[in-house]
Copies of this chain bind each other. A is one copy, B any other.
Amino acid sequence: MFELIQTDKETKARRGRLTTAHGVIETPIFMPVGTQGTVKTLHPDDLLDLGSQIILGNTYHLNLRPGLDVIRAAKGLHQFSTWDKPILTDSGGFQVWSLAKLRKISEEGVQFANHLDGSKMMLSPETSMEIQATLGSDIAMLFDECPPYPCEEKYAADSLALTTRWAKRCKEWHEENASKIVPWMTEPSLLGESPMPQPRQLAFGIVQGSSYAELREQSAKELIEIGFDGYAVGGISVGEPEHEMIRAIDNAVPHLPADKPRYAMGLGTPPQMLEMIARGVDMFDCVMPTRVARHGLAFTEDGPIHIKNKEFEFDQRPLTEYTHPSVARFSRSYIRHLWRAKEMLALRLLSFHNLHFYLRLMQQSREAIEAGTFAEFKDAFITRYNSHKEQ
Contacts and interface: CB of A to CB of B under 8 A. Distances in A.
Contacts of A69: 314
Nearest to A80: B334
Contacts of A7: none
Interface in A308-346: 313-314, 316, 326, 329-331, 333-334, 336-338, 340-341, 343-345
Interface stretch (A35-43, A211-219, A230-238): A35-43
A341 B74 contact: no
A180 interface: no
Interface in A74-114: 74, 80-82
How many copies of this chain does one complex carry?
2
- Which 3 pairs from chain A and chain B are nearest by CB? A66-B337, A36-B341, A73-B314
Given A37-B337, A43-B326, A43-B349, 13 more contacts: A36-B343, A40-B344, A43-B345, A43-B348, A65-B340, A66-B313, A66-B333, A70-B314, A73-B333, A74-B316, A74-B333, A80-B331, A82-B330
16 contacts: A36-B338, A37-B341, A38-B343, A38-B345, A41-B344, A43-B326, A43-B348, A43-B349, A65-B341, A66-B336, A66-B337, A70-B337, A73-B314, A74-B316, A80-B331, A80-B333
Contacts of A81: 334
A333 B76 CA distance: 13
A158 interface: no
Contact of A340 (B66, B73, B334): B66
